[in-house]
Amino acid sequence: MKLKFLMVTTAAAMIASPVLAADMADELTIVSWGGAYSKSQLRAYHEPYSEMSGTTIINDDSSAEAVAKLRAMNEAGNVTWDVVDVVAADAMRLCDEGLALEIDHDTMLAAAPDGTLASEDFGDLIVSDCFIPQIVYSTAFGYRTDLVGDNPPDDICDVFDLEAYPGKRSLEKRPINNMEWALLCDGVDKADVYSVLETSEGQDRALAKLGTIKDSVIWWSAGADTPQLLADGEIVMGSTYNGRLFSVIEEQHQPVGMLWDAQVFDLDGWIIPAGLSAERQARALDYIMFATDTQRLADQAKFISYGPARASSAPMVGKHADLGIDMAPHMPTDPNNAKNTFLYNYEFWADYRDDIDAKFQAWLAQ
């Protein structure tokens, strides 16, 4: 009886396996950040794409370790991911390491509805040959409206003003962005920030400025930390990604306001791992062609307050799909919010990241 059962199941498995293989052929493993961000991609890209093509999409929330994991997969000779969502700096490093496919943006991506080629539509946002831009997000400050009285902060240097705004603030536990803000508030002209930061004295100067508030800083390493600290009233202000603050303000209705001054723009987008089989690569490219067209990028902005990377998508940004509020004023790229902005300096940080990070960590440990 037992033997018979075993034989039947084995036979069944043998019959089923080619079917399974056929199913596999229609699968796409997409790696992203998880949380509200992945949800916005699910609704704007994955669901319509699956419906259209019949492809099953498997989500993997590993973007935070994407570079290290892709490197390990590549060394093991078994890349299991098809499309990966990474920040632009990581896309650049993956491209440097030969771990990401080089993209011909004009032939592999859809043109705008008016016929503008993709490379022009994305413009300067194509910061690496392997990078397919998706959204513009920014790192900005949120503050507790009930803790700042009648004088809400409107200048980045208010972060360094312990007298006007006593209490703790939260900053990211890495030099990037913090060093720029510190120099800006130490009287360095915006245009000169990076030439000052190149020098050892400039780095010491930035750390000295950060040192004036060091005792009042809680250092975060996960994007969810600042929203939580704000909601708990642990801090009076803190930096994080603008989409996180949007959700604290509009979805959770916490008494939090936005300080957009000197927000730092950064890009997030897709890469396709190098070394995929021709068939898998073709499937990944088919998905990318669909998910980065003008309409889809505009659709994503219905679910999260990140700006679409295509110029042609911007006029199509409408209302939030569930809350019904206008999304444009919450976009980092809105003219009212973007009066004074930085763009993450990819070249500079690719060179100086290791050096300045060592100094920054040593300074933190003092």
Question: Which residues of the chain form contacts with other proteins (CB under 8 A)?
Answer: 64-65, 67-68, 71, 93, 95-98, 168, 173, 204, 218-219, 221, 232-234, 347, 350-355, 357-359, 361-365
For the bound state, the minimum distance from the C-beta of residue 98 to other proteins, rounded and expressed in Å, comes to: 4
For the bound state, the minimum distance from the C-beta of residue 264 to other proteins, rounded and expressed in Å, comes to: 18
Closest CA to 357 of 167, 146, 174, 149: 174
Going 170 to 175 to 180 to 183, the CA torsion angle's sign is positive
Q: Which of residues 30 and 207 has its CB atom nearest to other proteins in the complex?
A: 207
Q: Which of residues 50 and 281 has its CB atom nearest to other proteins in the complex?
A: 281
For the bound state, the minimum distance from the C-beta of residue 205 to other proteins, rounded and expressed in Å, comes to: 13
Q: How many helices (H) and strands (E) does the chain have?
A: 15, 10
Q: Which long-range contacts (CB under 8 A, 24 or more apart) does 109-118 make?
A: 109/288, 109/289, 109/292, 109/293, 110/289, 110/290, 110/292, 110/293, 110/294, 112/294, 112/310, 112/311, 112/312, 113/294, 113/312, 114/312, 116/311, 116/312, 118/292
For the bound state, the minimum distance from the C-beta of residue 273 to other proteins, rounded and expressed in Å, comes to: 14
140 in helix, strand or coil?
A: strand
Quote the radius of gyration of the chain (alpha carbons, Å): 23
Q: Which of residues 174 and 296 has its CB atom nearest to other proteins in the complex?
A: 174
Q: Which of residues 50 and 212 has its CB atom nearest to other proteins in the complex?
A: 212
Q: Which of residues 24 and 365 has its CB atom nearest to other proteins in the complex?
A: 365
For the bound state, the minimum distance from the C-beta of residue 334 to other proteins, rounded and expressed in Å, comes to: 32
